[in-house]
Structures are given as structure tokens and as C-alpha cells.
Amino acid sequence: MKDNLIIQGVRGEIKIRRLVNGYPHISANDELDLYYGLGYMHAVDRMVQMWLMKIIGNGRASELLMASPDMIEADKYMRWIDLAGDAKREVNALDANARAAVDAYCAGANAGVKASSLPLEFRMVGYKPDEWTPADVLLAAKMIGYVGLASTQADAEKFIFQMLQNGVDAARVKELFPYIKEDIPPERIEIIKKTKSGMPIIPNSVAWKKFAPMFTASNNWVVSPQKSASGRTLFCSDPHLGLQLPNIWYVAVLKAGDFTLTGASVAGVPAVAIGRSKHMAWAATYGTLDLSDFYIEEIKDGKYRRGADWLPLTVREEVIRPKKGEPITLKICATEHGMLEAEPKENGYHLSFALSIKKYLGAAAQSINAFHQIFHCKTVDKGLDLFAQLTFSPFNWILGDADGNIGYQLAGLFPSKRAGTSGLLPYLGWDPADDWTGAVDPRKLPRLLNPKDGIVITANNDLNEFGEVKPMNLPMSSYRADMIRRRLTEQEKFTPEDMQRLHYDRYSLQAETFMQIIRPLLPDSPNGKILRDWDMRYTADSVGATLFENVYIELVKLVFGEMGFGKETMDFIMKETILFSMLHGNMDKILLSESSAWFAGRTREELFKEAITRGLAAPAPRHGETRKVYINNLFFGGKLPRLLGFDYPMEHIGSRATIPQSQLYRSAGRDGSFAATLRMVTDFAGEEVHLNLAGGASGVRFSPFYKAGLEDWVNGVYRTIKP
């Protein structure tokens, strides 16, 4: 595409010009044409990204891409969860204004496909994109809400189930998952041990995540005028997601008369998910709200038990047609709670999966409806109720407005569960008392308006205290949130430049806490002295950071591996799943305790000393040497020769506890990471937005906008966009 373009939209002319790193400024006289233009540019720049999500979401990867075993498993999973079917059923729930915007967006996307050449990736597999439809918009929203969010919650709950199945005693389970307040009686454990599960987390991972974006962890914060050097609201966001090329985020400016939107969208959806208008700014982090549960169902001869009655299973048939292979027929069986994980071949106990966004249909459509009111909302107090309607995903939304108000709202479809239960243990399907009793009014979820200290922070931490109900039962550690708050209380007033520096602050509160125990135990060896003198900062040249990580990982492996799950199981958890990245805070509370059921009768000092001996003996290069990774192309996943330039080499500096989170893991056979893929700062003293992104606008390898901005992102350079 040329740097300047004029196209015809739904109602009039649309002008598009490229800004820094190729991201578009889209202007028109009518707002509907802005969504047409956004759809057009999404398709021009991110066609592969959009249609991959659609193909995966519809369970047709083995048919349209490649008939490999992992793609067949991906299709089986997506046919089982059936988000695509739900999306089709929700289209008619779009209100008139949202439907007009969605229709305009889809028309623009389809025009963008026609105006573009077929991408190399699709030519290689013989695929030509079909029409982008309103159902595809809703499917994309559902994929964003489920992948890496609700699915991560479900993975952790399945992990608890597997712990109990494999003999980890209830005391240790409850210590590792402190939100389990209810008893776990022996008779319940016996039922769990007899229950058949078709989708274990260990040793199998789920291949459907291969091409889907991982929306997992993030930071955001906003300060009121009392803390801002300009005397106006100062707003910051840095969503931590999986690194990929192209970036998950697509920045755009939309302008029609006095109406402007500036910020980050996700290709496939006509919305600015993180950004601002003239009047209000918003951003999201993962809210760890529990919208899924497992049920143990008693099955006999194709029926499931409800009290003394036996009811017929609902059966849905799906046919997968792999390339050059025989059709595969699936029978998905369900109870009134949810889907069985596998077709029951024998009588007995079987596990079913309940997901609120499936049981209470309409979340994606309701969310699109709300977004298009949010874009015109002028104040935070009214905005909170609108953001509460974004039930497609469990997100912490922070808000700030031009009048100096700040706020927070947790959104998500939280099911009302049996009183006194955590939602982390499987319920009994035959007991009606264990049934969900509807979705909780989202206005009862955690929210804040204008706190006295003038600061709102979310970083996947526990914010249950701010709600009438407490929907978070697997919050991540509070290290990042606590570090941000510490920095925001160290001075009176802040500028956008201060916030940009805070985005790159690599001091670790986790290290500070552990070093209080480790430092007195260190020997006077060369490595012991280096670690003793370490400043708790994860810099590229730091050997101290490497030594701390060596000791910490050895401690985790010792307590939870050798003395807990077993060495092989713990290695798998740490290397092949996302579980350790999400649950390290739970483990840290145990490791820092004076005593624990996990210590197997040994003292904390003995365990730390053993970990120190092992960690200091391990190789200790500078931190950057241990963090050499590639940001891989989304489609090829690092399988092409590096010299072709589809991937980008970097040193992933930081840790699980630094503000710029740096976690590496594997999931579904794919290398994954948590990183600040987008950083945004905006001061309501003006309309400009300061941005820093890992990658440019284009998903086309040979475009100048494919790797644009990556050097700035590594080096902390922000670019300013003015609508």
C-alpha cells in the first residue's frame, strides 16, 4: 500500500496515511467509515493473523493448513469447545449501532483482501481467504477472551485435579492453593481418583494454542491530577503477552470530525482495546476471574445422574476432514453443566467442563455493543458500568478521564457458585446444590472510583477487596503491582517521561525478599560474593541476576520436584506448560514460610543452603546470555532458517517479578513468553499518545513495516502519535 491512500467506504471517502512504523491514521466524515477503514487496513497488513484465528477457531486447521497430528488435535479441541458455533448464535444479539459498525468493518476487511496479493503463507498451503463476517468478529472476541485467560484458569484447576488423582495429600494441595477454603474429605478424593479425564495437563499439552494469541499477564496504572506534573490525569499501560511477529497489537488513529480514537486494536475486531478518546482512556490486564469449573458426572449407559434420576446425555456430532486423510467423526457429549472431556466408553465417573461464556451466551455480542458506547463515553463514573458489560473476557479495566477522574472495573461472566466453595475443586454433577445459579451482576465485581491516594494499579494481583463478591481465586504474585506502587510513592509528581522509565524498571521485589534469607547463608566464594553484592536489578550484564535465578530455580525444583511432584513432573511443569509462570507466587509463599508441609520435615534453612550450593555451582554467565531468544513469525514458528529474516533475535531481559515481565516457557510445543508487547503513556494535558511496540504494522516479511520499531522497543524509545 502507498503511504497515502483514498478509498470509498460505506458512506463516503476515507483517507489513510501511514504514521510511524507503518501504523495508519484513518480519517473520514462518518464514524462508520472509520470501522470500514480499520477493517481494510487489518486485512491489508494482518491478513494471515486474522484468518489463522478464524481457521483455528472453526476447527479447520487440518483441512485448510496442514494435516499434521497436532493440527488434527487442534481441530478436535476447537470442535469440542465450539466457540465458532456460539459466535454464530450470538450475531443477532448485536444492537443496531454495533451491528452497523461490525458490518462496515467486515466490508472493509473483505475489500482489503481483494486489494491485496495472496500472502506467501497462504500460497504455500493452498488457502484463499473467504469472507470475513460478523460471526468471525465475535469468534475473534471469544478467542481473545478464552485463549490464555479462561483456558489458563481451567489448566490450573485441572492441575489441582491431577494432583489429587496422583496422591498429593490434601494439606499440601491446600497450602499451594490457599483459596481452597473447603475441606477435601477422603471420600471426595476417592471419587476424584476414579474419575476419567480425557484432557490431562501432564504429560499432554493442548495443540490448539499453536497459532492463537496468548493473552495472559499485564500491568496498567493511572494517577489522578494530584500526582501528575501537568495537573491532568496520567495514564499508563503495558500488556504482557506472547512475543510474535507480527505483534498481536495493531495501532491505529481513527478520526471523524471531533471524534477520535487512538490506540491498539486486535486484527479481526472493530475496537480500540487499549487507548483513548479525547475524553477517556482505558486499558486491560488479565483479571484472574474464575469463569470455569469442572464437574464429576456419574455416567451409566449413555445417561448421567441427577439426584436419583438418570438423564440422557446431549450428543453433538462433528466431522473433521484432514487434507488427504479420512474423515474423523467426533461425538461431543454434554450434561446440563457442560461438555464431557471425551465420549464415555464405559460407565463410571467422567469429568465435564463448565464455562460461563458458553452457558450464558451473549457475552461477545454484549461486549461489542458496550465498546461502541465506551468510545463516546466522557467520564469514568459512567464508564465503569459500560466496562462492567465487557463480559467476553476476565479483564481488569482501568480508566482515566479529562476531568481528572480515575477508576477500575473487573469485568467477566462470573457464575454464582455454591456458598463456601472456592471453584478450584471439581463439583459433583449429581448434587443440585453444586449447580451454578446464574451469572453475578458484574457491578458487584471489584471496582474503584477516585481512591484517596490518587493511584489505581492492576498487575494480575489479588483485587478481591474492592468487590462485593470475590471472584479471583488464582491471582498472580503481587511483586509487580507492589513495585509500581513503591515507585509511585517515591515522589510527589510524575511526567510521561517518568512513566516511560518505570516501564523499563528491572528491579525485583521477589529477589529483594528472597535475598533477605539467602544473603546470610552465602559462602565467601567468588560466586557467593557476587550474589551477596547484587543490586537486585536484572540488567543484561548482571552475573548476580543469573546466580539468583540459579539458586531460586534449584530451590523450586528441590521442594516441589524432588520432595513434591517428582523431578520429571516438575521439569515438565516448568519447561512445557505455563503453570509455573502463573503459579510462582503461590510457590513463593511456601518457600518463604518458616515451615511447610512441602518441606518434608526439613528446615527452611537446610533447603535454602542446599539450593545455594547447587545454584552457585552452576554456570553463571551474564544475565543477557541466558535470555537469548527469537521473536518468531506467527505462521512459521521459528521453523525457517534464521537467515531468511522472518524472526528477530533479542535478549529477553528481566524476570517473572520485574515490572517489564520476562518469562519464558513452552506450551503446546511452542516457545512462549510474557513481555510488554505494547507500552502506552498518555497525559490528558494533550491528546498525544506515547507508544513503544515490539514490531510494526505489517505481517508481511518483506514489508519495511514488519520489524519496524523493534530496536526502539528494545532500547526504550517511545514514539508520539498525535490524532
- What tens digit of pLDDT does each residue of 95-140 get? 999 999 999 999 999 999 999 999 999 999 999 999 999 999 999 9
Q: Are 198 and 351 in contact (CB under 8 A)?
A: yes
What's the pLDDT score for residue 199?
A: 74
Q: What is the pLDDT of residues 84-96, one digit of tens each?
A: 999 999 999 999 9
pLDDT above 60 (res 212): no
151: three-class secondary structure by DSSP: helix
What's the pLDDT score for residue 209?
A: 45
Q: Is the pLDDT higher at 663 or at 26?
A: 26
What's the pLDDT score for residue 17?
A: 97
Q: Are 655 and 507 in contact (CB under 8 A)?
A: no
Q: Cα 113 vs. chain centroid, distance in angstroms?
A: 28
Contacts of 441 (CB under 8 A, 6+ apart): none
Question: Once rounded to an integer, what is the mean pLDDT over residues 654-666?
Answer: 89
Q: Cα 485 vs. chain centroid, distance in angstroms?
A: 23
Global pTM reads 0.95
Question: Once rounded to an integer, what is the mean pLDDT over residues 415-432?
Answer: 97
For residue 715, the tally of other CB atoms under 10 A from its CB is 9
Burial 230-245 (b: 16+ CB within 10 A, else e): eebbbbbbbbbbbbbb
What's the pLDDT score for residue 145?
A: 85
All three cell numbers of 512, joined, read: 529483594
What's the pLDDT score for residue 201?
A: 56
Question: Once rounded to an integer, what is the mean pLDDT over residues 692-719?
Answer: 97
Give the span between the Cα atoms of 151 and 353, in whole angstroms: 11
pLDDT above 50 (res 631): yes
396: three-class secondary structure by DSSP: strand
Q: Is the pLDDT higher at 440 or at 215?
A: 440
Contacts of 284 (CB under 8 A, 6+ apart): 218, 220, 237, 239, 273, 274, 393, 395, 396, 397
Q: What is the pLDDT of residues 593-619, one digit of tens each?
A: 999 999 999 999 999 999 999 999 999
| Whole-number Cα distances in Å, 595 to 168, 178, 559, 602, 605 | 18, 15, 12, 8, 10
* Residue 205: band (very low, low, confident or very high) from pLDDT cuts 50, 70, 90: very low
As a dihedral over the C-alpha atoms of residue 467, residue 471, residue 472, residue 473, rounded to 10 degrees, the angle is 130
Domain limits, the chain:
509-626
pLDDT above 50 (res 208): no
Give the span between the Cα atoms of 637 and 27, in whole angstroms: 35
| Whole-number Cα distances in Å, 480 to 86, 579, 657 | 36, 18, 6
All three cell numbers of 673, joined, read: 513468553
> DSSP character for 148?
I
Question: Once rounded to an integer, what is the mean pLDDT over residues 172-181?
Answer: 96
Q: At 441, phi and psi to the nearest 5?
A: -55, 120
Mean pLDDT of the chain: 94
Q: What is the pLDDT of residues 240-289, one digit of tens each?
A: 988 999 999 999 999 999 999 999 999 999 999 999 999 999 999 999 99
pLDDT above 80 (res 636): yes
Give the span between the Cα atoms of 214 and 243, in whole angstroms: 9
Q: Is the peptide bond before 246 cis (omega within 30 degrees of 0)?
A: yes
Q: Which residues make beta-bridge pairs with 208?
A: none
* Residue 3: band (very low, low, confident or very high) from pLDDT cuts 50, 70, 90: confident
All three cell numbers of 526, joined, read: 567468588
Closest CA to 692 of 218, 42, 251: 251
Q: What angle do CA 140, 145, 146 make, to 5 degrees?
A: 100
Q: Are 262 and 690 in contact (CB under 8 A)?
A: no
Give the span between the Cα atoms of 384 and 272, in whole angstroms: 17
Give the span between the Cα atoms of 248 and 273, in whole angstroms: 12
491: three-class secondary structure by DSSP: coil
> DSSP character for 426?
P
* Residue 674: band (very low, low, confident or very high) from pLDDT cuts 50, 70, 90: confident
Give the span between the Cα atoms of 25 and 20, in whole angstroms: 10
Q: Is the dihedral of CA 598, 599, 604, 608 positive or negative?
A: negative
For residue 9, the tally of other CB atoms under 10 A from its CB is 23
Q: What is the pLDDT of residues 429-488, one digit of tens each?
A: 999 999 999 999 999 999 999 999 999 999 999 999 999 999 999 999 999 999 999 999
* Residue 1: band (very low, low, confident or very high) from pLDDT cuts 50, 70, 90: low
All three cell numbers of 166, joined, read: 496422583
Radius of gyration, alpha carbons of the chain: 25
Q: Is the pLDDT higher at 152 or at 557?
A: 557
As a dihedral over the C-alpha atoms of residue 263, residue 264, residue 267, residue 268, rounded to 10 degrees, the angle is -70
| Whole-number Cα distances in Å, 673 to 213, 244, 540, 647 | 11, 9, 17, 15
Give the span between the Cα atoms of 716 and 711, in whole angstroms: 8
Superfamily of domain 509-626: Aminohydrolase, alpha-helical knob region (1.10.1400.10)
* Residue 214: band (very low, low, confident or very high) from pLDDT cuts 50, 70, 90: low
Give the span between the Cα atoms of 658 and 639, in whole angstroms: 30
| Whole-number Cα distances in Å, 629 to 290, 649, 684 | 32, 6, 37
pLDDT above 90 (res 668): no
Burial 330-340 (b: 16+ CB within 10 A, else e): bebbbbebbbb
For residue 6, the tally of other CB atoms under 10 A from its CB is 10
What's the pLDDT score for residue 211?
A: 46
